[in-house]
Amino acid sequence: MAKVVLTSASKNFADNDIRDAVSRSFDLLGYNYPEKIDTVIIKTNLCYYWDYSTGETTDPRIISAIIDYLRARIGDDISIFVAEADATAMKTKYSFKILGYENLSKAKNVELLNLSEGEIVEKQVSIRNNRITLPVNKMLLESDLVINVPKLRTHNLVGLTCSLKNMFGAIAKPRKFSYHKNLDAIIVAINKLVKSDICIVDGLIARGKYPKKMGLILAGDDALATDFVVAKILGFNPRAIGHLKLAEKENVGDVNNTELIEDKISLKEAKKLFPGSSFLLHKLSWGLQLKLLDVYLKLSGDVSPPFLKA
């Protein structure tokens, strides 16, 4: 049975509020840790150079609280890596510097890991009976514990970006826009290759029609089950989201027996708070905007930033 915890860090979410909410979410989740853990990788969501206050990237205070909890729960001698991979329009080394993660790594004595560098292995998996090969950092595959820390936000191409989509960002290939023609399958493929042991969703500042302070934290022991709960908060039918529907068919997670623990806030209350919009109308609007942009580019000879279609 999958378990998902929904809790709140209060409206002000000062540092102590965040630490308490993260600790509470871990405790309520009650994850069954392996007997021996030497290496932990924490996968952030740093899709671009936007500050966490925009609702687009993981708040470093969440990562800090996770590090503190892991050391208290597992031990001070574990090796913790805060990880991200290069993207089409982002270099990880710059995002770590700009978004405060270099300072975090020094303060917490953890290492920063660029998943696009080091030993990269080609791994193959079957999706819809088709073979897909993806480059993956060997350290990610061999880590004793993978903690996935996505954002609570909508996404222009796939409706929502949360646990499963955040792992797409771990693919070692920087120019990931080449995967977009088969995006749902690629998202499911990487999640078949790399299992998120624990998902901690950063909903302190959520992003829908606009950024909004919500103070939410979700914890889950199943990435797909966690994303199903997030989809409901965002006002979507989870099975109307292509990669969630495909992930369920490919048995990436269990959504039929999910235990939802509501702590300090209910799912119904969280859904009311979220600045949502119609997924269908959003897709139509975004598609029209991109078509108009293409017309402009052809007429002007200008260049489109790659992240607009990322």
Residue 310 pLDDT level (bands cut at 50, 70, 90)? very low
User: Confidence band (pLDDT; 50, 70, 90) for 292?
Assistant: low
**Domains of the chain, residue spans:** 3-275
Does the pTM surpass 0.85? The reply is yes
pLDDT mean over 62-88: 96
C-alpha distance from residue 117 to each of 83, 97, 113, 193, 197 (Å): 11, 17, 8, 18, 23
Band of pLDDT at residue 48, cut at 50, 70 and 90 = confident
Among 64-78, 171-185, 273-287, top mean pLDDT goes to: 64-78
Contact 163, 146 (CB under 8 A): no
The more confident residue out of 234 and 159 is 234
Range in 16-25, 184-193, 218-227, 300-309 with the lowest mean pLDDT: 300-309
Q: What are phi and psi of 128, to 5 degrees?
A: 55, 35
pLDDT at 288: 62
Pairwise CA distance, residues 208 & 65, whole Å: 25
The pLDDT assigned to 298 comes to 72
Question: Topology of domain 3-275, per CATH?
Answer: Rossmann fold (3.40.50)
